[in-house]
Homo-oligomer: A and B are copies of this chain.
Amino acid sequence: MITEPTLGRRGLALVLSSPSGAGKTSIARGLLDAEPELEMSVSVTTRPKRPGEVDGKDYHFIDSATFAKLVEDGELLEHATVFGNSYGTPREPVEQALASGHDVLFDIDWQGTQALSGEIPRDLVRVFILPPSGPELKRRLTQRAADSAEVIAGRMAKAAAEMSHYPEYDYVVVNRDLGKSIERVRTILAAERQRRDRITGLVEFVRGLQDEE
């Protein structure tokens, strides 16, 4: 009896980035609901836990000394400090997930994406979400009627700066309709899973085909 070599695959690291107001968080939630095999990367952070947050689910809450040690030991794939709080992506769970064929979702900005691109370039699938129009972006960034023109202008400037990095991404999704945008990202995920360089066991599989007499 001939036993067929088994094909498997390496997981992929799906990065979603966007300016605030583009709908990225809703797309990420929809994706996680629709794709049971996709898991969210859980970051470490030094910021205090907020009410309702769960340690190990929302974040791994750690102190500054532990964070500094992780950075020093190269245990973070990317890290950043925002308003005095540090955030980072632990290397080991991501590499374990990818090696065992699980896909990992990252909700990170262009700086985190650049760092990941240096660390795990071949596993990365980078998707940039854009808002459908300028007026719609402004509407989404106007959270309260009382927001001053200056506050809104500041948010728009931050969004403009984030958007300037779209050329560093593999795919672009213009988020006109949430459901369709989720489907688009799922299609990207399904296709990327079939990339030759993610399939494991191909060398042996093809050798088996070639050796048939």
Taking Cβ atoms with an 8 Å cutoff, the residues of A that contact B are 2, 4, 7, 128, 130-131, 133-135, 137-138, 153, 156, 159-160, 163-164, 166-167, 169-174, 184, 187-188, 190-192, 194-196, 199, 202, 205-206, 208-213
Residues on B with beta carbons closer than 8 Å to the beta carbon of A199: 172
Listed residue (A199, A210, A213) with the most chain B CB atoms within 10 angstroms of its CB: A210
Q: Chain B's nearest CB lies how many Å from the CB of A46?
A: 33
Q: Chain B's nearest CB lies how many Å from the CB of A1?
A: 11
Closest 3 CB pairs of A and B: A134-B212, A191-B191, A160-B210
Residues on B with beta carbons closer than 8 Å to the beta carbon of A135: 2, 212
Residues on B with beta carbons closer than 8 Å to the beta carbon of A133: 2, 4, 208-209, 212
A191 to B186, CA, bound (A): 9
A156 adjacent to B190 (CB under 8 Å): no
Q: A134-B2, A196-B169 are in contact. Are A212 and B128 (CB under 8 A)?
A: no
B2 adjacent to A196 (CB under 8 Å): no
A159 to B212, CA, bound (A): 11
Q: Chain B's nearest CB lies how many Å from the CB of A80?
A: 23
Residues on B with beta carbons closer than 8 Å to the beta carbon of A192: 191
A-B contact pairs, 21 of them (CB 8 A): A2-B133, A2-B134, A128-B196, A131-B209, A134-B209, A137-B209, A156-B212, A156-B213, A159-B210, A164-B210, A166-B196, A167-B196, A169-B196, A171-B195, A173-B194, A174-B205, A184-B194, A187-B187, A187-B194, A188-B191, A191-B192
Q: Chain B's nearest CB lies how many Å from the CB of A208?
A: 6
B209 adjacent to A196 (CB under 8 Å): no
List 8 additional A-B contacts (Cβ < 8 Å) besides A159-B209, A164-B206, A169-B196: A130-B205, A160-B210, A166-B202, A172-B194, A172-B199, A173-B194, A187-B194, A188-B191
A163 adjacent to B210 (CB under 8 Å): yes
